[in-house]
Structure 1
């Protein structure tokens, strides 16, 4: 394994996946690790799940430079920094952090493709209830990925 992509957020699933990552890294000794945080625009309805790429880009354009977007970016960076620092304390080098915006499964898969990842690690459950209606992110990533995916409970 040359490169491992780890999808992170602020859920228990990520904490469990990250704990497993330590074991995987000690066995596989990857050349690099990419930590990916996907900012998902939240709303009070499922309409945000139904936005297409064009609508999502329009929403991103509207939010650019807003206090809301700045707060999202700061939260994402804080989470990425937390996990990056934890990896570095374990002696792991070559850690890259990436923030993406959009549908989590799509963006995780796009990031894996762009980074030429050899494996994806993610938690099997998030904190959102919308997966009950739309299908879970982890299931979608596992079904669509062309590389090995490690789902951690």
Structure 2
């Protein structure tokens, strides 16, 4: 199998960054372990220049040479699903692409014994969002202050 050159890795990363920012459900199709591998190799959640990404990629490959092959399989899944919907609605119509992926994922994973269709697809994020964390802690403290979480004992 042919090796992927730096130019192709940059193109792959561009799609993954677009998915991370606009169509996270596409990344959510992967298992959590695969998502962590994707973040380790392509770092779609980080704002990197092309040169910074290539340096990052070379550093990761030096310590984990087989990661490129595993991540290539993960990328292929995301690319295939993204392309299926992008061909129908346009490659920058992110909301329609995400809606299509959600609709089909929910349809495939629907339990007919359930009355409602609920889709839960957690995403792994290697970077802590300190603003969200601070808001959550303040909200928790406010609820405790109001007595919403009193101990039953």
Task: Provide the TM-score with structure 1 as the length reference.
Answer: 0.30
User: Which has the larger share of helix?
Assistant: 2
Higher relative contact order (CA 8 A, sep 6+): 1
| Structure index of larger Rg | 2
Task: Provide the TM-score with structure 2 as the length reference.
Answer: 0.30
